[in-house]
Amino acid sequence: MKLNVRLQSEQSAADAAPVVLIHGLFGSLDNLGVLARGLKDRRRVVQIDVRNHGLSPRSEEMNYPAMAQDVVETLDDLGIDRFTVVGHSMGGKIAMALTALVPGRVEQLVVIDIAPIAYQERHHDRFFAAMKAVSAAGITTRSEATTLMRQRIEDEGVIQFLLKSFHEGEWRFNVPVLWDTYDEIIGWETLPPWPHPALFIRGERSFYLDDQYRDALLAQFPQARAHVIGGAGHWVHAEKPEAVLRVISRFLGL
């Protein structure tokens, strides 16, 4: 599957591995735009819409081997061999899956606020309920959608995040498929150890990269290092963009 991409600074740092940015669930390539803007002067940057999101193709299949294969096929089409990958949440799991699929092509790995484990709780069910309600009501404007979604979601920031992918009455992610495959999205199959540099960035207030997952993380990424961003939650790159960019830049040697 060839994914929708946005390329930044194609001609800069030609001798360095491009940085591939992969967004999380319910997102699009715009979600990591702050990182792209911060890195584009020093590296070629590739922003990606994953399958069933943004302007990329849709599919009934939604699992990490398939999503990682999408990234590989897209990079092949762009003529990119070796690369550094940065992924947030679900995108972080796709990034980790790439180390098993093409271990020799990934130079460095940055994972933002997700662990290589299967989560047990369904934290997004109210998001699905809100989006399904908007679709069922035939709503076409963001203002009307906001009013209806507030009945199910208390966090205004989450509502506005979701509505970034609402255009003319349609969601730009495949809500039915994401609902049907949600257990695979929060699930995980343990990877073989990848003995290369890896950085895991955690939001201090987030539970996704909790200390209890340390052993599982190190078993799969024995060269991993961690950095906690104080005062941030799960969307750490949006809440503390300058701090995240500093940490990533230092890790990449920029």
Catalytic residues: 89, 234
d(CA 119, CA 141): 34
d(CA 20, CA 188): 21
99 DSSP assignment: H
Q: How far is CA 43 from CA 36, 39, 103, 167, in A?
A: 9, 6, 21, 32
| CA 180 to mean position of chain CA atoms | 19
CA neighbor of 228 nearest in space, from 198, 199, 204: 204
Cβ–Cβ < 8 Å for 199, 111: yes
Burial 9-41 (b: 16+ CB within 10 A, else e): beeebeebbbbbbbbbbbbbbebbbebbebbbe
Q: How far is CA 234 from CA 19, 36, 112, 116, in A?
A: 22, 19, 8, 15
213 DSSP assignment: G
